[in-house]
Structure 1
């Protein structure tokens, strides 16, 4: 059975700027357990023209929480760094 996993890839876009690529991947529990969902997300980003450096994360990774905090910081909702 496949799980639909929300993924974020931090990468360089076609214009050469840092960007976030959002995608879903479908991975089995075994693939997820081996971290292959990260590779799947990066491969999708590459197919869409993004390039290295790249790092992928899902909702369970610390980066997901940091992204929520960064958004609040950028929008002036918090001064906590």
Structure 2
């Protein structure tokens, strides 16, 4: 069975700045369990003009849980680090 996963790639954009690329990746349970969904997300980011350094994560990774807090911190809504 193929599942659709929400992924984010932290990558370098065409201007040379760090950026977040949001993408859906379709993978089987086996591909997901083997971590191939990360490679798929990075390959799609490369296809869209992003380059290394890059790292991909999904909603089950620690980085995903930190995004909301990072946004609040960067917007000055919290001083908690």
TM-score interval, normalised by the smaller of the two chains = over 0.9
* TM-fit CA distance, 1:76: 2.2
Aligned-residue offset at 1:20:
0.4
Superposed counterparts of 1:1-81, under 5 Å: 1-81=1-81
* Alpha-carbon shift at residue 77 of structure 1 (Å): 2.1
TM-score by length of 1: 0.96
Unaligned runs of 5+ in 1: none
Superposition misfits of 4+ residues, deviation over 4 angstroms:
none
> Structure 2: 5+ residue runs without aligned partners?
none
Whole-Å separation in 2 of the counterparts to 1:78 and 1:2: 40
User: 2:72 & 2:39 partners in 1: Cα distance?
Assistant: 29
Post-superposition shift, 1:54?
A: 0.3
Look up the SS of the partner of 1:22 in the other structure.
Answer: strand
| CA-CA distance at 1:74 after TM superposition | 1.4
Aligned residues: 81
